[in-house]
Amino acid sequence: MDIEACRDYCLSLRGVTEELPFGPDNLVFKVMGKMFALISLDSVPLHISLKCDPDRAIELREEYDGLITGAYHMSKVHWNGVQAEAIPPGLLKELIDHSYELVVKGMTKKLQQELKDLE
């Protein structure tokens, strides 16, 4: 997936906003104010950092050696760095969904309900 496809997919998810809190080179996607994806705008190839279950992160890094690694400047236990254009688009969408769902699961019940109530 290229950057526009990644951006469009992230923004298609319920309650998602995009911001540039770390400067103009890092596009951040948040659900209800909580970050679930970060795209480095100046990296070639395109990299996206996504939250991931620690056990699954290890499996993915082994299976996609060099294409999925510990995310730069993030907790290597909970965040993967993914070469977005080098893995199958279906897998990237699955990883974006997984990151989104992990963040939603960690929200308070009140925030989860506010997310459900969004149209």
Domain boundaries, the chain: 3-117
For position 72, what pLDDT does the model report? 78
Angle at 69 between CA 48 and CA 97, to 5 degrees: 45
What architecture (CATH level 2) is domain 3-117? Alpha-Beta Complex (3.90)
Q: Are 3 and 11 in contact (CB under 8 A)?
A: no
Predicted TM-score (pTM) of the model is 0.92
The ranges of the chain with pLDDT < 70 are 119
For position 113, what pLDDT does the model report? 93
Task: Output the six-digit token pair for 98.
Answer: 């997984």
Residue 57 CA: distances (Å) to CA of 37, 61, 86: 15, 6, 17
For position 61, what pLDDT does the model report? 92
For position 12, what pLDDT does the model report? 96
